[in-house]
Amino acid sequence: MSSPKFADCFCAKNNIPREDYARAVFNRALYRRTHLVKWLLPLLHTNYFTADYDMIYAVESLSRRRDFTMEAHRFNEHPANRGWLRRTLCLRISTARLKDIIRETLPRSTEQRSSEHNESRGTVVPFEIDAGSTDGDAHLHPRLKAAVRVG
C-alpha cells in the first residue's frame, strides 16, 4: 500500500476538488500582509508568484513530512524568489505556514512517531536492552555482543 500524498489528503480534509488544490494552499500559506496586495503584485510582474506555485506543486506529492526540508531549501534558492518585495517584505508564501499545513494534513507514520519521541527526549537509542538475558552483556545490541565475543 502506498502512502497518501499531501494534495490528496489536503483536498479530502478540506472537502475541495483536486483542481482547487493549488489556489487553496496558496491562500492558506500566504503571509497575512500579502493578502492585501496579492491582486496588485502580478500587475507589477506577470510571474510574481511563480516560485510560490512551484513550491506548492512540489509538495503536492509528499507522503512524508521530513521530505519538506529539501523542498523548502529549493524554494529559498528558486531564481524567481529574489527581490526586495519577496525577501524583505515577505510578499510571498510562508514556508513555516506551509509546513504547518503539511503537519496538520499528512498522517503520522509509526517511524515518524518513534523518531519524534526520541528527538523530543534529546536522545537516540543506539542499543537495545534485552531484559531476559542473564549474561553480562545484556545492555549491548545483539550485533555488538557478537563483535565483543569474536574480538
Query: What torsion do the CA atoms of 116, 119, 120, 125 make, to the nearest 10 degrees?
Result: 100
DSSP, collapsed to helix, strand or coil, labels residue 30 as: strand
Q: In this structure, what are the phi and psi dihedrals at residue 60, rounded to the nearest 5 degrees?
A: -65, -30
Kindly report, residue by residue over 3-19, the tens digit of the pLDDT. 899 999 999 999 999 99
pTM higher than 0.75? no
Kindly report, residue by residue over 19-52, the tens digit of the pLDDT. 999 999 999 999 999 999 999 999 989 999 999 9
The predicted structure's pLDDT at residue 2 = 76
Which grid cell is 2?
502506498
Task: Report the percent of the chain where pLDDT is more than 90.
Answer: 66
